[in-house]
Amino acid sequence: MKKLQMVDLKGQYKKIKDTVNNSVLEVLDTTAFINGPEVHAFQKELEEYLNVKHVIPCANGTDALQIAMMGLGLKPGDEVITADFTFAATVEVIALLQLTPVLVDVEPDTFNIDPEAIKKAITPKTKAIVPVHLFGQPANMDAIMEIAREHDLYVIEDNAQAIGSNYHFKDGTTKKAGAIGQVASTSFFPSKNLGCYGDGGAIFTNDDNLAHTIRGIVNHGMYERYHHDVVGVNSRLDSLQAAVLRAKLPNLDTYNKARQEAAKKYTAALKGVEGITVPYTEGENDTHVYHQYTIKIADGKRDALAAHLSKKGIPYGIYYPIPLHNQKAYKDERYKEADFPVTNRLVEEVISLPMHTELDDEQISYITGSITEFLKQ
């Protein structure tokens, strides 16, 4: 059996080696390392793929979120509602900009922000909602966009984990995750569904004015050379990373399909096993692009299962072991434990299995066999 890994970047690279190597060598030849033609070409190709008017590449997914918030002109004291169960980057940038993070609970089935909890958290100071499309599945954007319209709030989608997934609205229309709110961010961290070979990120929007503002912010607040109109940052996707992303973007749908196929096989083997809840996906399969395949283990057995997997040489991830409202940096007396029953349970129950584009049947049966063997003993 091939060695088990959480993410098999090498296996994926081998299949596109010639294309990637040629693209990278071309950049080296031109020496256009910053803002070279590869960056502009990638931007256009991603705009087309997502069907959004503007993609603004930047240095990473955390910057992308921060810049999106700066672009919207959010001011210290403005309240921004986001999920308690997400990677820290989401809340970190809210705090860095001296906005007030308002963490709310998530749904037990999708792990995504709970629209009812959003409604309860809205105050006159609320300015934005940041849904995170966690583990590759879009949040309930029908409900979230409706709440935002009603209360005149911005929606900033954190799409770091769900690039390529489709959201099917109740009215029958479909949009790509990241093309729904006023603005969205993504990460091209190597293990992401569309990952480069270093750090990278991007901001998406259909709003021409916002796109113009953001293009200046990523470049030191310059709209005209050496005229600094607003306080900006230096956040660029470099040409080498753009070359890698251009080589990989045409494969994104195939990559996501491979993840969905692996997920189907995991689910077929694990569904119905007592003590396991397999991932829930609403409607058609393309809504979930399985950045992670995350199951829930009942009866306090998660950590013992994790130890068993380690013994069997199976890597796993606990995303996330501590709710954000209990992280030292984000603790606040506003938060009451009773407001986070779902997150507090999820941190005890979730475990993510190896998930990538190169998983084969033998590996999947070994993993699922090891899990069922443990739970049935």
Q: Does 189 bind ligand PLP (CB under 6 A)?
A: yes
Q: Does 62 bind ligand PLP (CB under 6 A)?
A: yes
By CB under 6 A, the residues from 76 to 105 that bind ligand PLP are 86-87, 89-90
Q: Does 160 bind ligand PLP (CB under 6 A)?
A: yes
Question: Given candidates 12, 23, 60, 166, which one binds ligand PLP under the rule CB under 6 A?
Answer: 60
Query: Which single residue brings its beta carbon nearest to ligand PLP?
Result: 61
Alpha-carbon distance of 227 to 245, in angstroms, equals 31
Question: In this chain, which stretch among 39-47, 156-164, 251-259, 346-354 interacts with ligand PLP, using CB under 6 A?
Answer: 156-164
Amino acid letter, 58: C
Alpha-carbon distance of 358 to 147, in angstroms, equals 40
Alpha-carbon distance of 231 to 139, in angstroms, equals 32
The residues pairing with 204 across neighbouring beta strands, listed in sequence order, are: 55, 184
By CB under 6 A, the residues from 196 to 215 that bind ligand PLP are 199, 201
Q: Tell me whether residue 194 or residue 305 sits nearer to ligand PLP (CB atom).
A: 194
Q: Does 66 bind ligand PLP (CB under 6 A)?
A: no
Helix axes 361-376, 252-270, angle to 10 degrees: 30
Q: How far is the CB of 196 from ligand PLP (least distance, A)?
A: 10
Tokens representing 81 are: 């509602």
Q: Does 294 bind ligand PLP (CB under 6 A)?
A: no
Question: Given candidates 43, 110, 126, 161, which one binds ligand PLP under the rule CB under 6 A?
Answer: 161
Alpha-carbon distance of 213 to 68, in angstroms, equals 10
How many residues belong to the chain?
Answer: 377
By CB under 6 A, the residues from 303 to 322 that bind ligand PLP are none
Q: Does 194 bind ligand PLP (CB under 6 A)?
A: no
Residue 353: how many CB atoms within 10 A of its CB?
A: 24
Q: How many of the chain's residues bind ligand PLP (CB under 6 A)?
A: 15
Determine if the peptide bond prior to 255 is cis (ω within 30°).
Answer: no
Q: Tell me whether residue 316 or residue 374 sits nearer to ligand PLP (CB atom).
A: 316
Q: Does 158 bind ligand PLP (CB under 6 A)?
A: yes
Q: Are 57 and 186 in contact (CB under 8 A)?
A: no
Q: Does 217 bind ligand PLP (CB under 6 A)?
A: no
Within 8 A by CB and 6+ apart from 229, the residues are 216, 221, 222, 223
Distance of CA 376 to the CA centre of its chain: 34
- Binding residues (CB under 6 A) for ligand PLP: these are 60-62, 86-87, 89-90, 132, 158, 160-161, 187, 189, 199, 201
